[in-house]
Structure 1
Amino acid sequence: MDNTHRKLLIVWHSRTGAARQMAEAAQRGAQDIARELDAMGRFEARLVRAAQTGAEDLLQADGYIFCAPENLGSLSGEMKEFFDRCYYGVLDRLNGRPYGLLVAAGSDGQGAVRQTQKICTGWRLEQVAPPRIVLTHAQTPQAIAAPKEIGPEDRAHCHELGGTLAALLL
């Protein structure tokens, strides 16, 4: 049996709760698979807010899930700042590591997906599943700013992505 300790880093940002719930569901999915594979002692699924994540966190991880809202057709500012701050410090040092992407959006999400995929391509990460976009359908200023609650089906997809990453790492 391989005793190597594996680390999944889940980097997230959320203002209204949707992306946070998605990241938490992915973490639970990863932990559930690690339990199922009797690997909890050699696996860690770490949930870290984008503002507190640095290059060293990325270097110490074996795989990643990036989870953020789309704001005004692009990746949220805090998530983009994380990528900007860490980009050159890890360039050519993460090659081939797996990643997944979760995006919360009002009506589209494709802008945030494209931005993140370009960054991950630059880091030479390997996307292991199609990006998951959870639509909140918030279109008014009040609905956009309101706390969100994502549904069970969307949580299940996020849970599955976490499990997929855990299985690949273990």
Structure 2
Amino acid sequence: MAGLLIVYHSRTGGTRRMAEAAARGAAAEAAPARLLPAEAAGPGDLLAAGGYLFAAPENLAALSGAMKEFFDRCYYPVLDRLNGRPYARMVCAGSDGQGALRQMARIATGWRLREVAAPVLVCTAAQAPEAILAEKHLPAEELRRCEELGAALAAGLAMGIF
């Protein structure tokens, strides 16, 4: 059974913590899941998975460069080969996060993926340069939302719902 692939990029730890929480949620369902940083994930990983959870920070009102590079690198090699597979999104942002969410949704639309859960957006309210560059430690309730999303996606894949 093809499992969940969680691809993330994180510069200051917030998105990594979100992705790790989602992976813990998937593991609690005893469902197959792989957690990969965007730099290590490739077309073969996408093709081998049954569904996806993409997690990235928002940088300068857009998707982080490393996550965008993952999508750029993988886009054409898997085009028309992922149609209909389920996905969800998570963003860690200092303010609204909408730019990164929109970019991921547009890419997923091009791949003809099917969004099966509302995105998780965690706003850190980091606005000053020191706060933006600081290591992020997210509240337990926010990480719980990420864990629940990972569990729901993994369980849905394992049960054949998606």
Q: TM-score range by the shorter chain?
A: over 0.9
Displacement of 1:6: 2.7
**2:12 corresponds to:** 16
- Measured against aligned partners, the alpha-carbon deviations of 1:64-112 in whole angstroms (never above 9, x if no partner) come to 1000100000000000000000000000000111111000000110000
**Structure 2: stretches of 5+ with no match in the other structure:** none
Percent identity for Structure 1 against Structure 2? 61
**What pairs with 1:1-170 in structure 2 (closer than 5 Å)?**
5-34=1-30, 43-170=31-158
Long gaps (5+) in structure 1 = 35-42
SS at match of 1:133: strand
Q: After the TM superposition, which parts of structure 1 deviate over 3 Å for at least 4 consecutive aligned residues? A: none
The question of whether the paired residues in 1 share the 8 Å contact of 2:2 and 2:48 is answered with no
Larger radius of gyration: 1
1:49-74 deviation digits (Å, cap 9, x = unpaired)? 00111101100000110001000000
RMSD: 0.7
How many pairs align?
158
Provide the C-alpha distance between the structure 2 equivalents of 1:161 and 1:94, rounded to a whole number of angstroms. 21
TM-score scaled by structure 2? Answer: 0.96
